[in-house]
Amino acid sequence: MINVKRFCFNPMQTNCYVVNDENHAIIIDPCCYFDDEKQELDDYITTNNLKVEHILVTHMHVDHILGLNWCQKKYDVVAEGPNNENHWVEIGKQWAKQFGFNIDNDISPLTKFLSDGSIPWGNNGTIEVIHTPGHSPGHLSYAIHDKSSGSSKAFFCGDVVFVNGIGRYDFADSNYEDLQKSIEVVKTAPTHQIYPGHGESFSPNVCNNDA
């Protein structure tokens, strides 16, 4: 059985998810920043006897990766994500310095990259990787499938679409037309529940009605 636990971390109120199938676990968007957030995440993983097997990044905007290095070191797992967004690491560091804090030791470029396809995981389940650009050029979404169903149990769409809106498209490398196509991908995904990068999860029919 696939379970999803949502955490809301850092000053940008970004969602971090732990997905597990029995003791097999995935972290999606490792965005814990403060010590108490890291402790909360680890307490959940430890209490439930989970083994983190994948750390997945939807995109490299700083609010989604503030716990990247800590999670990689803590769980001895190399993070995976988009292959053309490492330039956002330096942008994020400069942004943080404008607000008076230093994250040079917290984030770093990815070294393991994903593209469209499926990754075996859990008890004969799969992680489906789906390129959903627009908010950012390499943005990825992840659909979690178990062995018993053709549809996914959970679809993690990052900052493509939210329960009451869509992702920003005013960054230098955003693209509104690509975002609209990606929103359609999310809206038509055969899934039970959609989990965004910010805010509450929602069902596909809500997305179809409101996005």
* pLDDT tens-digit series, residues 185-202: 999 988 889 999 999 999
Domain count, the chain: 1
Q: Which helix (H) or strand (E) covers residue 178, if one does? A: helix 176-187
**What's the confidence (pLDDT) of residue 16?**
98
Q: Supply 103's token pair.
A: 């994250």
Report the distance separating Cα 1 and Cα 22, nearest Å.
7
Quote the domain boundaries for residue 84.
2-210
Q: Supply 201's token pair.
A: 């999860």
* Residues 40 and 30: beta-carbon distance below 8 Å: no
CATH number reported for the structural domain that contains residue 95 in this entry: 3.60.15.10
**What's the confidence (pLDDT) of residue 159?**
98
Residues near 193 by beta carbon (within 8 Å), at least 6 away in sequence: 4, 153, 154, 155, 201, 202, 203
Torsions phi, psi for 83 (to 5 deg):
-95, 0
Residues in the chain predicted with pLDDT less than 70, given as ranges, are 148-151, 207-211
**What's the confidence (pLDDT) of residue 32?**
97
Give the global pTM: 0.95
